[in-house]
Every structure is written in structure tokens, then in C-alpha cells.
Amino acid sequence: MKCDMCDKPAMVHEVVIQNGNKMELHLCAEHAAAKGYILPTVPVTQILKQFVATGKSLKAQKAAARCCEACGLTFAEFRQTGRFGCAACYDAFMPSVAAIIERAQSGAVSHRGRTPKRIEGQADRAAVRRQLIKEIEAAVAAEQYERAASLQGRLHQLGGTKNPPTEPTA
């Protein structure tokens, strides 16, 4: 669309009410500036980001504001960089973390590889169990039975030391 005052493309579009009449206004950058309109000088990507942010639900905004107490990283920062700040972020941003990892890891729900010999000061097994139980319940409620079964398998592995399978007697 062209500017109302010249042939340049219009950058500012406004609907104004003048003397009770509705009027559309289309102005190029120069004429808009002359009339006192402030043109956006921020990059388009930033505008879009802001738009997306404000377009989010309250729940999503709350999630974005969540913060890792250990390193101060917010979930919004993580979404921007795709990188966590520290080991504690993995627990701070549950359950979003589980969804992100499972998607990236082709549906895998937990580690099956090697465990370091020295794991003092690391994540608490009981907390992991509690979290898994929560997720199993949520998966069943959402009728994601395959995922629930996979999580259940992991829970059994973790609980193995508590209820060891009985040895068949010879």
C-alpha cells in the first residue's frame, strides 16, 4: 500500500476518528516521522518474540518466568539458548524438561548406561521415584499407556533394591 502523501510504500497504518468520522491513515516512514509517529527501530525478530510472549497464556508466561535457584537461569532463557545453566536446572524445570528430553531422545525416558563409581552429592533416588510416579499417573490420565509402561519399567529398576526379586529355590 502506498503512502497517502507520496508514492513510497506505507509503513504506518492507523485508523483515526476525526469529528466522528472514521478515517484510515497510511504513511511512509518519512511522512510518519514528520507527523510525529515513532517508527519501530528494533529488529523484526525481536518484535515477533515480544508478540509471541504477550500472546502466550498466563500459564506459559508463568512457566517462562520460572528460575533455577542454583544458577539463576530462567526457563525463558533456556528456551532462547537451548542450554541449561547447571545440573540443578534439570530438576528445577521439571516437568518441561522431561517432555523436551523425551522428544529429543526419540521417546527414551531414562538413562540405562553406565553409572559413575562416585556419585556422592548427586540426585536423590527417592525424589526421582516420586517424580516418576507423578508422571506415570499423568500418562495414564492422558491415556499414554506406552509411555506409562516405559516409565513403570524405570520405576521398577529404581525400586529393585527395595524389593529384590525372590530367587527360585533349587
Residue 59 interacting with another protein (CB under 8 A): no
Considering only residues 11-50, where is the footprint of another protein by CB under 8 A?
A: none
Tell me the closest approach of the beta carbon of residue 57 to another protein, in angstroms.
23
Q: Which of 26, 63, 110, 140 binds another protein (CB under 8 A)?
A: 110
Instruction: Quickly tell me which residue has 521417546 as its cell.
Output: 107
Residue 85 interacting with another protein (CB under 8 A): yes
Rounded Cα distance between 89 and 72, Å, is 9
> Torsions phi, psi of 79, nearest 5?
-60, -30
Q: Which of 128, 138, 144, 152 binds another protein (CB under 8 A)?
A: 128
Rounded Cα distance between 52 and 130, Å, is 34
Residues 95 and 125: beta-carbon distance below 8 Å: no
- DSSP for residue 121: T
Size of the site for another protein (CB under 8 A): 42
Q: Which of 34, 48, 65, 104 binds another protein (CB under 8 A)?
A: 104
> Torsions phi, psi of 102, nearest 5?
-60, -35
Among the residue ranges 19-27, 44-52, 56-64, 113-121, the one whose residues contact another protein (CB under 8 A):
113-121
Q: Which of 49, 66, 131, 138 binds another protein (CB under 8 A)?
A: 131
Residues 159 and 132: beta-carbon distance below 8 Å: no
Amino acid at 160: G
Tell me the closest approach of the beta carbon of residue 50 to another protein, in angstroms.
24
4, 48, 52 from 1: Cα distances, Å: 9, 22, 26
Q: Which of 17, 44, 119, 141 binds another protein (CB under 8 A)?
A: 119
Q: Which residues bind another protein (CB under 8 A)?
A: 70-71, 73, 81-87, 90-91, 97, 100-101, 104-125, 128, 131-132, 154, 158
